[in-house]
Amino acid sequence: MQSLRVDLGSRSYPIHIGPGLIGDKDRFAPALAPGPVAIISDSNVAPLYLEALDKTLRSLGKTVLNIILPAGEGSKTLASIQEITGQLLSAGFGRDCSLCALGGGVIGDIAGFAAAAYQRGVAYLQVPTTLLAMVDSSVGGKTGVNHPLGKNMIGAFYQPRAVIADTDTLDTLPEREFRSGLSEVIKYGLISDQGFFSWLEDHMDAVMARDTAALMHIIERSCADKAEVVTRDEQEGGLRAILNLGHTFGHAIEAASGYGTFLHGEAVAIGIIMAADLSRRLDLIRESEQDRIYALMEGAGLPTLAPRLPVTEYLRFMQVDKKAQGGQVRFILLRGIGEAVITGDVPPAAVIQTLNAFMENEHGRD
């Protein structure tokens, strides 16, 4: 097992990564509030891992309530928050309860927001079971749900009490979901960790084969890179926006093509390639660097073609991006591999050139 810490003063918490952790009551005990526990999971994950977690929590003397939502992005709605809070109230759960998010990023985001809102805030733990959730969504306290007009539009910054990533759960993760998580891993290399990007170029075969040591390395390095950013800027006053590389385009792809058509990581992979294209048009990166990014995404089996939607549709969803300031969309661009830049003065003509290029020749590379 490896353990890291997210240092946020009184809101600090550990991240534990390793095999068999769902059965390790000593990881759970220090993070739980005194009262009962609700496990929030989804219809795919619950049959696989809920019984084991339930048993661990009961061995700590806890009363346990199970709440199971339909699997998939379609559940990331306010209706799910209503469902969870309704079940908590019916079971008589008070402010001394804890919620355990057992699942991928969808469950983590929903359960985290339910924890932030229920009786104005109760304890919660992240027990991520997808690669994407282990490397990204379980860490940093961004919680929330979608709105038909935009992704993650309703939510809160609310930190978990612990992140407990049982790497054994990755054994059952479908291949497409595994690959989806890799785009967020590649993102860390691009925004702040050139050495990690090079390591991924050299070890992608081992990663794709789910080699144990390679998986431990990418999860640990990703969590460390994310924790470093979150510690310096918890609520995205500035720096944290770099974690959004590829997301301005990516969120537009997810929303405009209907939530769930593209997995989040797939949309982010395409979005990162589009952001690299825009960075090259603005002479921030060289074509050779753009080629390396494209090659690594392809090597990870991720999609690189943007869906053919009207450019006006892309622009409509990009306009509501939460990073916009004074009506001006801000982009996360690359100044090289390993260095991100947050910029609010991208000429609209350049953005439209990138969008047109992807719509015309499908991959956006002239």
Ligand X SMILES: O=C(O)C(=O)C[C@@H](O)[C@H](O)[C@H](O)COP(=O)(O)O
Ligand Y SMILES: NC(=O)c1ccc[n+]([C@@H]2O[C@H](COP(=O)([O-])OP(=O)(O)OC[C@H]3O[C@@H](n4cnc5c(N)ncnc54)[C@H](O)[C@@H]3O)[C@@H](O)[C@H]2O)c1
Residues with active-site annotation: 120, 142, 184, 226, 236, 240, 244, 247, 251, 264
Shortest Å, Cβ 241 to ligand X:
7
Indicate which single residue of 16, 27, 247, 280 sits in contact with ligand X (rule: CB under 6 A). Answer: 247
Whether 105 and 130 have beta carbons less than 8 Å apart is answered as: yes
Q: What share of the chain is helix, strand, coil (3-state, %, to 5)?
A: 55, 20, 30
Tokens of 94: 């008070």
Residue 57, binding choice from ligand Y, ligand X, none, Cβ under 5 to 8 Å by partner class: none
Q: Please say which residue, 109 or 166, places its beta carbon nearer to ligand X.
A: 109
Instruction: Please give the helix or strand (H or E) that residue 314 lies within, else none.
Output: helix 311-319
Radius of gyration of the chain (CA): 20
Tell the residue number behind the tokens 């997810």, with chain if given. Answer: 254
Coil vs helix vs strand at 61: coil
Tokens of 124: 């919660």
- 254 lies in the site for ligand X, by CB under 6 A: no
Residue 247, binding choice from ligand X, ligand Y, none, Cβ under 5 to 8 Å by partner class: ligand X
Shortest Å, Cβ 10 to ligand Y:
21
Nearest to 190 by CA among 294, 287, 87: 294
Coil vs helix vs strand at 153: strand
| Contact set for ligand X, span 296-335 (CB under 6 A) | 322
- 40 lies in the site for ligand X, by CB under 6 A: no
Which residues, including other chains, have CB under 8 Å from residue 14's CB and lie 6 or more apart? 3, 4, 5, 6, 31, 162, 163
Indicate which single residue of 36, 108, 112, 140 sits in contact with ligand X (rule: CB under 6 A). Answer: 140
Indicate which single residue of 42, 54, 166, 184 sits in contact with ligand X (rule: CB under 6 A). Answer: 184
Indicate which single residue of 40, 88, 99, 243 sits in contact with ligand X (rule: CB under 6 A). Answer: 243
Q: Please say which residue, 212 or 328, places its beta carbon nearer to ligand Y.
A: 212
Q: Please say which residue, 65 or 173, places its beta carbon nearer to ligand Y.
A: 173
Could you tell me which stretch among 64-72, 136-144, 200-208, 311-319 binds ligand X (CB under 6 A)? 136-144
